[in-house]
């Protein structure tokens, strides 16, 4: 069964990061969707159990959806180029 968490809106200044999901009790399978409406790119930072931290660049005016196993933390980080706005939504599941 999947649990769709509420959609969260972000408005981050340049070079600012914020965590939008944390499960430090062993991780959970999840799907992450980031929509970047801003004029500058934003980085999606994904931390999983026993895996390296991976950063995905979401260009301005684009979106990205990922399915990951054992998600610990999902965070957004803006580039030094400028501020960014958009949405992030996470669905957890046992897939």
Distances 73 to 37, 40, 52, 82 between C-alpha atoms, Å: 22, 23, 12, 23
The confidence score (pLDDT) of residue 84 equals 95
| CATH number, residue 65 | 2.60.120.1380
- Domain residues for the domain of 47 are 2-93
Quote the pLDDT of residue 94. 64
Domain count, the chain: 1
Q: Output 51-59 pairs: Cβ under 8 A, ≥24 positions apart.
A: 58/34, 58/86
pLDDT of residue 95: 53
- pLDDT tens for the chain, 95 residues long, are 788 899 999 999 999 999 999 998 888 999 999 999 999 999 999 999 999 999 999 999 999 999 999 999 999 999 998 999 999 999 998 65
């Amino acid at each position: 069964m999947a649990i769709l968490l509420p959609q969260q809106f972000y408005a981050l200044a340049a070079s600012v990061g914020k965590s939008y999901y944390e499960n430090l009790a062993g991780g959970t399978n999840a799907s992450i969707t980031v929509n970047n409406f801003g004029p500058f790119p934003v980085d999606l930072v994904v931390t999983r159990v026993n895996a390296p931290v991976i950063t995905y660049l979401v260009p301005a005016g684009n979106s990205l959806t990922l399915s990951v196993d054992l998600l610990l933390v999902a965070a957004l980080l803006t580039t030094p180029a400028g501020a960014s706005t958009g949405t992030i939504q996470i669905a957890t599941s046992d897939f």
